[in-house]
Amino acid sequence: MNPSVIIVGAGMGGLATALRLSTLGYKVQIVEKFYQAGGRLNRIQKDGFTFDTGPSFFSMSYEFHEFARECNLQLPFSFRELDPLYSVNFRGSDQTYFLYKDIARLAEQFEQEEPDFEAKMERYLAKCGGLFHDTVDLVIKQNFNSLVHYLTTLARVNPRHLPVLFRKFHDQVNRYFDSERARQIISLVAFFLGRTPFDTSAVYTLLSYTEFRHDGYYNVEGGMYKIVEGLVDELARRGVSINYNTEISAVESRDGKVTALVDLHNHFWRADMFVVNADAAFFRGKVLERKAFSPRKLDIMQWTMGYLTIYLGIKRQLPNVHHHNYYLGDNFYDYARDIYKNPGTLQKPYYYVNVLSKHNPDCAPQGCESLFFVCPVPDLRYKADWSDRDAIVDSIIDDFSQRVGVDIKPEIVSRTVFTPQEWEKHFNLYRGSGLGLAHNLMQIGAFRPHNVDEKFKNLFYVGASTVPGAGLPMAVISSKLVTQRVVALRRKFAADKVR
Ligand SMILES: Cc1cc2nc3c(=O)[nH]c(=O)nc-3n(C[C@H](O)[C@H](O)[C@H](O)COP(=O)(O)OP(=O)(O)OC[C@H]3O[C@@H](n4cnc5c(N)ncnc54)[C@H](O)[C@@H]3O)c2cc1C
């Protein structure tokens, strides 16, 4: 008989794992605490507008194609490449930089402040490309069975990358560029990992290669939630059920194996194996009550920033605002130093604006625009009180209005705000941290919470806080890694039976 698997969480990692396992003949069910699938990759439909709640683009599109091939399906969504990748504006400046993938075109914008930008960028990207190709298959897309396995694998990485291991992202960028503007713009991608360029390892400069050279960024036609809709439809065709409003709060176990998961209504969910898509660190602490993940231990781990996200429907269009836009301040160093812990940074906020309706007109009524703001904020350890949320949101809207030259306040017809409190409440994100555990050297690879449980051999993990890390393509890779674990255990059980 085909083994049964219950997956806890219908985020990108949970859905992708469900599809992979159903392809291999497993009998799969999903339990999800929220009322609809997607996790952070969710959707709000309100007042005639559609908003994606979290991701607004993804990289490494080939991971999605490979995933579809391995699950015997046509990708149930289509995507379009972004070029420019995004625009960047600094407070007090009229200039907007466009991050074109064509480096010669990009360089034209730096003629004044960064002579030889094109040659410098080519040198920088060549180094980032080397890092990417020398690590992606060897380290990022690998399961590690022990620390020794991990360290011996790292020892096989080309030694020319060793110095990079001990540098920060910003230091690496500084070696190639001299002007502050170029340095700040090229380091921006570190924020996509939920930390700043000053505390993100230079290893992640490989992201510059993924954005400019290797594959770029993609937006999904009709909005990012089409990914979820497509995967959920395919799962339904395969008989995989998703049980919503079901939060797992405890486990029942015997002889080193989980026998059932228990939900908040004391319903027991029984299966042969279990995959947890909830945060791999927080679940171990809250549900399994592991000492290594006690509230005190979780609080001293490094977490990615919290996010204040704002979803606005406005009754006019903004022809001069592009699809993806970064609005930075004029105090990059102070801001990056204070952002994790000091709510004072919100007086001069840095934020990102996505105009979903720009490429997807169905996401807003005719003549209107659907706007999505993301502003990094301290997580709930450092800012637990959000009673000032409306004042903060108003100040961001004012700042944006000033920068785009249109007062959008009187145009707003729909307004929804998620602070880290909502992110925590809806999806169990620890302290509202947006991307889960940070990616510092002591929290990646074999040091990240493993995708196999330490105590229960039939309990596994998938998603942002286990290997390899945060972001949609990483969730797809994570689903592949955990599927390999599940299959290996099934083989072991089968071999034990024969003996
Ligand atoms: C504001 C924002 C912007 C982002 N932008 C991008 C982007 O542009 N590009 C990109 O690639 N990535 C982006 N990301 C990151 C990306 O969203 C995540 O890395 C990815 O969606 C995480 O997927 P996941 O499978 O790990 O889990 P999640 O999405 O966290 O899903 C986990 C699921 O488990 C459920 N759950 C939790 N606990 C329980 C429980 N006890 N019982 C039952 N169910 C439970 C949750 O409700 C949730 O549905 C962004 C994230 C945020 C927050």
Give the model's pLDDT for residue 17. Answer: 98
The strand ranges marked E within 48-194 are 49-52, 79-82, 87-90, 96-98
Cis before residue 84, ω within 30 degrees of 0? yes
CA 464, CA 22: separation in Å to the nearest integer?
Answer: 22
Per-residue confidence at 228, pLDDT binned at 50, 70, 90?
very high
| Ligand 1 neighbourhood includes 432 CB (under 6 angstroms) | no
229 lines ligand 1 (CB under 6 A): no
For ligand 1, atom 33, which residue shows the shortest CA distance?
9
Q: How many angstroms does the Cα of residue 11 sit away from the middle of ligand 1? A: 6
User: Are the C-beta atoms of residues 72 and 87 closer than 8 Å to each other?
Assistant: no
Cα→Cα distances 228→12, 51, 223, 291, 472, Å: 7, 14, 10, 35, 11
Chain position carrying tokens 């540098």: 167
Return d(Cα 82, Cα 100) in angstroms, integer: 9
* Backbone angles phi and psi of 242, in degrees to 5: -115, 120
Q: Give me 101's structure tokens.
A: 């993938």
The closest residue, in CA terms, to atom 2 on ligand 1 is: 54
Nearest CA to ligand 1 atom 24: 463
Taking only the tens place, the pLDDT of each residue in 441-482 is: 999 999 999 999 999 999 999 999 999 999 999 999 999 999
CB 373 near ligand 1, within 6 Å:
no
Measured by CA distance, the residue closest to atom 18 of ligand 1 is 471
* Contact criterion met (CB below 8 Å) for 54 and 306: no
What is the band of 348 on the pLDDT scale with cuts at 50, 70, 90? confident
CA 9 to ligand 1 center in whole angstroms: 9
User: Among candidates 54, 107, 53, 57, which has minimal Cα distance to 82?
Assistant: 57
Distances (CA, A) of 191 to 53, 266, 424: 18, 40, 20
Tokens coding 485: 């674990």
No. of helices (H) and no. of strands (E), the chain: 17, 19
Q: Is the CB of 439 under 6 A from ligand 1?
A: no
For the chain, give the mean pLDDT: 96
Q: Report the pLDDT averaged over residues 387-411.
A: 96
pLDDT tens digit sequence for 195-215: 999 999 999 999 999 999 999
Strands of the sheet containing 351-355, edge to edge, are: 96-98, 87-90, 324-328, 351-355, 369-377, 306-314, 412-418
Q: What ligand 1 atom has the least distance to the C-alpha of 282?
A: 38
Give nearest CA residue, ligand 1 atom 46: 427
> Which residue among 19, 40, 228 has the greatest number of ligand 1 atoms within 8 angstroms of its CB, and so is best to mutate?
40
The Cα-based distances of 220 to 116, 149, 228, 434 in angstroms read 35, 38, 11, 21
Whether the CB of 468 sits within 6 Å of ligand 1 = no
Is residue 497 predicted with pLDDT exceeding 90?
no
Residue bearing the CA closest to ligand 1, atom 48? 39
The tokens describing 342, both together, are 């000091």
Q: In which band, very low, low, confident or very high, does the pLDDT at 191 lie, cut at 50, 70 and 90?
A: very high
pLDDT at 499 > cutoff 90: no
**pLDDT of 498 strictly over 90:** no
Model confidence band, residue 80 (pLDDT cutoffs 50, 70, 90): very high
22-36, 152-166, 319-333: which is most confident: 22-36
The pLDDT confidence band at residue 496, using thresholds 50, 70 and 90, is confident
Mean pLDDT of 39-47: 98
For residue 30, what are the β-bridge partners? 7, 242
- Least confident among 73-77, 468-472, 493-497: 493-497
Cβ neighbours, 10 Å, residue 180: 13
Q: What SS3 string covers 360-426?
A: CHHHCCCCCEEEEEEEEECCCCCCCCCCCHHHHHHHHHHHHHHHHCCCCHHHEEEEEEECHHHHHHH
41 pocket-lining for ligand 1 (C-beta < 6 Å): yes
Q: What is the CA radius of gyration of the chain?
A: 22
Q: Which residue's alpha carbon is nearest to atom 34 within ligand 1?
A: 9
Question: How remote is the CA of residue 278 from the centroid of ligand 1, in Å?
Answer: 8
CB 483 within 8 A of CB 20: yes
Confirm or reject: Cβ of 420 under 6 Å from ligand 1: no
Domains and CATH numbers, the chain: 4-35+244-298+439-498 (3.50.50.60), 44-100+305-434 (3.30.519.10), 102-215 (1.10.405)
One-letter identity of residue 373: F
pLDDT one-digit tens code per residue, 353-395: 999 999 899 999 999 999 999 999 999 999 999 999 999 999 9
- Ligand 1: residue whose CA is nearest its atom 16: 471
What's the pLDDT score for residue 408? 98
pLDDT at 341: 87
Cβ–ligand 1 contact at 445 (below 6 Å): no
pLDDT tens profile 256-294: 999 999 999 999 999 999 999 999 999 999 999 999 999
Q: Is 277 in the pocket of ligand 1 (CB under 6 A)?
A: yes
* Mutational pocket test of ligand 1: of 210, 261, 277, the residue with most ligand atoms within 8 Å of the beta carbon: 277
- 12 ligand 1 Cβ < 6 A: yes
Protein residue closest via CA to atom 3 of ligand 1: 54
CA dist., res. 441 & res. 447, Å (int): 8
**pLDDT class of 217 with cuts at 50, 70, 90:** very high
- For 229, list phi and psi in degrees, rounded to 5: -55, -45
pLDDT tens digits along 89-126? 999 999 999 999 999 999 999 999 999 999 999 999 99
Contacts of 305 (CB under 8 A, 6+ apart): 194, 195, 339, 340, 376, 377, 378, 379, 433, 434, 435
